[in-house]
Amino acid sequence: MTEAITITVNGEVVAKGRPRMTRRGFIYTPAATRKYEAHARLAAQVAMGSRAPLQDPVRIEVSIELPVPTSWSNKRRLAALAGKIAPTARPDIDNYIKTALDAINTIVVTDDAQVVEIRARKQFSDQPKLVATIIPLDAVASNSRATQREVITTVEEAAP
């Protein structure tokens, strides 16, 4: 099993925006989403270096650190930073996860379908950022027949 890969994207986190459609039927992703995804993909490339994308199932742990609203009092701000106030406002956590998965697709993993486990947390921070840790699992992909045969043979041999 290879080591975990951590990707950090500094700056205010942008959640995956809904696709938009023009009157002529052209579908596009909002510009803010496209820019942030490009920034996140660059961070993923830097984290990977010259390594090839992972081909085994993985777990991803995502930490979304959001800025405390500037309109809040200092007392409320300190409570938010201590974790006493949770960021329950929109956007939803799943839209942030989609952004992280799009960033690692084809760079860290060959396909984001390899992500079989997700842990995510949305919290307030003085330094907003998205941190994604990709952890390879000790399992084989269900669509990898040759590797499955080896695992099944090993398990059969070990059985009494």
Radius of gyration in angstroms for the set of CA atoms belonging to the chain, rounded to a whole number: 19
| pLDDT at residue 120, rounded to an integer | 98
Residue spans of the chain under pLDDT 50: none
For residue 116, the enclosing domain spans 5-158
The rounded distance, in Å, linking the Cα atoms of 132 and 5 is: 8
Tokens 């938010």 map to which residue?
80
| pLDDT at residue 73, rounded to an integer | 97
- Which CATH number does the domain housing residue 49 bear? 3.30.1330.70
Report residue 136 as tokens: 């390879």
| pLDDT at residue 123, rounded to an integer | 97
Split into its structural domains, the chain has a count of: 1
| pLDDT at residue 155, rounded to an integer | 60
CB atoms within 10 A of CB 47: 19
| pLDDT at residue 143, rounded to an integer | 74
| pLDDT at residue 139, rounded to an integer | 84
Element (H, E) at 152: helix 145-158
Query: What does each C-alpha distance from 115 to 10, 131, 134 come to in angstroms?
Result: 23, 16, 9
**pTM of this prediction?**
0.85
Q: Which of 125, 1, 9 lies closest to 57 in space, CA to CA?
A: 1
| pLDDT at residue 10, rounded to an integer | 97
Q: Are 16 and 38 in contact (CB under 8 A)?
A: no
**Residues 113-131: pLDDT tens digits?**
999 999 999 999 999 999 9
The rounded distance, in Å, linking the Cα atoms of 124 and 83 is: 7
Q: Which of 140, 119, 107 lies closest to 39 in space, CA to CA?
A: 107
